[in-house]
């Protein structure tokens, strides 16, 4: 066992080197294939990189000015509205369900009910949105705003149910009983006890739904066709149809800025994100 | 304890929401077995659309590509993500908070923003778009998910077991192999399942980073369903992909529920 002894010796002696050997590979991988691409995107957005990837040594804000033109701001506004409708719609659908699973459902059903929400959570939106196309085609609802809204809520619903359930599951039920005993009606108990205590769950769900919904591409594109334009469909068109990478990069950096600001506000106010 | 009317109503509402989640999926499955092409009319049970799929060479190639990317992505991201999780939970170093945030970023950044940045990066660095570029992007995304799942497991089990092992005379390597690794196995398996599904049915990142001649199953669904083209062949293909993704997601969900 001499090789093992020398290995252990090594582990004890060079702690920092071991840390480097363990954490190095994953961090280097992410640096190259996740963070470097974002730096490249920033460089494109300022025109520092030109056609065929040639470095121009120029810095210009003209692509940001283009991305902030009125037509694009309107698309941004529409995307935020659609994301807000999606968020409110999914809270309204998810809250009673999460509450039912966490507080009311018979114990033997609980796992099945949670698992049934987790399964669609992990299936890509493309497949689930395609599933809706059958129904909307039968109902002659394809390419309408309503179809897009229903599709958005359909796809994002599990992202709202799960954090709400995780939160309500931790709710101390004796608080509800205390409230009843002291004479509060169920409605008042909900307003004064349950709802305030579940705010972190609502906040987590809102982040998980609202932020990606602003940039959603699959749903508006498949169910809305050309009738609904969002930041997601615009980004797709700028990159894969018109090959206007510079403007697309500026637009994407603006979107990421909005995402990060939202997250920072959230972290300050609520604390950690539960996924 | 019997349920009150209000509870029953809430149960009914929940049943309606579950129906909302699953009816569209059931409809796809039903119409993939429909004999006729007409949507909305079930004229008889038939396997002919699956036979069409089986005879379609393009579908087979795409299936092979999806599987190939998903398997390699799973293995590589499992290795790198587990290393990160182990390092963050067990090593005694400074700056953990910052590293943890970095490892979380890929989960938080919207997929389309990540996908286009990869495309720009590949174009700038002179990569030829295709199998390799798709694979490298999938791995980058999956490392973070593996990290989160495995870390939760590593942080969750009783550390005194490892200390006991060391006190009883086992060295660090033996302790890692006999205690730490077996105890974190459920987390590693769960992470593998998640990494596989995320890669196998991924659409957006694949669409941005693929090149001519490299197609995966979701890309076929996308190109054929564009402009509202639903049909029984596509229903059959979607059923197959969903069956694979949902089975794996189900096993994952079962595994994670059991530990509670």
Greatest CA span in chain A, whole angstroms?
Answer: 75
pLDDT tens digits, B151-162: 988 887 777 888
Q: What are phi and psi of B95, to 5 degrees?
A: 75, 20
Q: Specify the CATH number for the domain of residue B135.
A: 1.10.3720.10
| Residue span of the structural domain in which A14 resides | 2-60
Q: Contact, A219 vs A125, CB < 8 A?
A: yes
Q: Give me the half-sphere count of Cα atoms (radius 13 Å) on the Cβ side of residue A225.
A: 15
Closest approach of A127 to chain B, Cα-based (Å): 6
Is position A89 within any domain? yes
Q: How confident is the model at residue A221 (pLDDT cuts 50, 70, 90)?
A: very high
CB atoms within 10 A of CB A137: 17
pTM of the model: 0.90
Between positions 64 and 83 of B, the ones with CB within 8 A of A are 80-81, 83
Is position B215 within any domain? yes
Output b/e per residue, A55-69; b: 16+ Cβ within 10 A.
eeeeeeeebbeebee
ipTM of predicted assembly, 2 dp: 0.90
Q: What are phi and psi of B37, to 5 degrees?
A: -85, -20
Q: Specify the CATH number for the domain of residue A236.
A: 1.10.3720.10
Is A94 in the same domain as A225? yes
**Amino acid A194: pLDDT:** 86
Between positions 165 and 184 of A, the ones with CB within 8 A of B are none
Burial-class residue B50 by CB neighbours within 10 Å (0-12, 13-18, 19+): middle
Q: Contact, B114 vs A45, CB < 8 A?
A: no
Integer Cα distance of A244 and A6 in angstroms: 57
Is A118 in the same domain as A151? yes
Q: Which residue of B has its CA nearest to A208?
A: B108
Is A32 in the same domain as A126? no
pLDDT at position B47 over 70:
yes
The number of domains in chain B is 1
Length of chain B: 260
Of these ranges, A55-59, A100-104, B13-17, the one predicted with the greatest mean pLDDT is B13-17
Q: Contact, B203 vs A218, CB < 8 A?
A: yes
Integer Cα distance of A84 and A261 in angstroms: 17
Contact residues on chain B for A273, CB-CB shorter than 8 A: 108
Contact of A261 with chain B, judged by CB distance below 8 Å, is answered with no
Spatial CB neighbours of A102, under 8 Å, sequence gap ≥ 6:
A165, A168, A169, A171
pLDDT at position A85 over 90:
yes
pLDDT tens digits, A252-269: 999 999 888 888 888 787
Closest approach of B55 to chain A, Cα-based (Å): 22
């Amino acid at each position: 066992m001499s090789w093992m002894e020398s290995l252990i010796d090594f582990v004890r002696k060079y702690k920092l080197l071991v840390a480097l050997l363990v954490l190095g590979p994953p961090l280097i991988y992410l640096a190259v294939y996740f963070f470097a691409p974002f730096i490249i995107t920033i460089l494109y957005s300022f025109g520092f990189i030109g056609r065929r990837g040639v470095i121009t040594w120029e810095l210009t804000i003209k692509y940001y000015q283009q991305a902030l033109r009125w037509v694009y701001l309107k698309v941004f506004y529409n995307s935020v509205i659609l994301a807000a409708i999606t968020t409110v719609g999914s809270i309204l659908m998810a809250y009673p369900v999460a509450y039912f699973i966490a507080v009311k459902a018979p114990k033997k059903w609980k796992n099945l009910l949670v698992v049934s929400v987790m399964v669609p959570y992990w299936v890509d939106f493309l497949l689930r949105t395609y599933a809706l196309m059958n129904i909307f085609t039968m109902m002659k609802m394809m390419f309408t705003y309503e179809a897009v809204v229903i599709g958005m809520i359909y796809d994002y619903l599990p992202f709202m149910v799960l954090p709400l359930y995780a939160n309500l599951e931790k709710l101390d039920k004796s608080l509800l009983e205390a409230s009843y005993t002291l004479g509060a009606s169920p409605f008042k108990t909900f307003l004064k006890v349950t709802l305030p205590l579940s705010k972190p769950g609502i906040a987590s769900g809102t982040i998980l739904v609202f932020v990606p919904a602003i940039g959603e591409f699959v749903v508006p594109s498949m169910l809305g066709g050309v009738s609904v334009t969002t930041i997601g469909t615009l980004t797709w068109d700028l990159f894969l149809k018109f090959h206007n990478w510079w403007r697309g990069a500026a637009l994407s950096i603006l979107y990421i800025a909005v995402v990060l600001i939202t997250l920072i506000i959230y972290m300050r106010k609520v604390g950690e994100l539960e996924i | 304890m019997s349920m009150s009317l209000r509870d029953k109503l809430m149960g009914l509402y929940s049943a309606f929401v579950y129906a909302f989640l699953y009816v569209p999926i059931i409809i796809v499955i039903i119409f993939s077995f429909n004999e006729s092409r007409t949507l909305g009319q079930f004229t008889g049970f038939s396997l002919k659309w699956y036979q069409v799929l089986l005879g379609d060479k393009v579908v087979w190639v795409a299936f092979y590509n999806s599987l190939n990317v998903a398997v390699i992505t799973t293995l590589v991201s499992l290795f790198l993500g587990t290393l990160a999780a182990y390092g963050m939970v067990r090593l005694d170093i400074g700056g953990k908070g910052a590293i943890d945030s970095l490892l979380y970023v890929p989960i938080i950044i919207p997929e389309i923003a990540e996908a286009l940045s990869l495309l720009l990066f590949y174009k700038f660095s002179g990569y030829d778009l295709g199998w390799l570029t798709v694979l490298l992007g999938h791995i980058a995304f999956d490392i973070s998910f593996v990290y989160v799942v495995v870390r939760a497991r590593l942080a969750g089990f009783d550390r005194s077991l490892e200390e006991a092992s060391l006190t009883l005379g086992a060295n660090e390597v033996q302790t890692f192999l006999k205690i730490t690794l077996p105890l974190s196995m459920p987390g590693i398996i769960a992470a593998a399942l998640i990494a596989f599904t995320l890669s196998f049915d991924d659409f957006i990142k694949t669409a941005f980073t693929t090149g001519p001649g490299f197609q995966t199953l979701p890309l076929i669904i996308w190109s054929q369903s564009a402009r509202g083209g639903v049909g029984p062949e596509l229903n059959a293909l979607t059923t197959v992909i969903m069956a694979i993704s949902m089975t794996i997601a189900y096993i994952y969900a079962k595994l994670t529920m059991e530990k509670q």
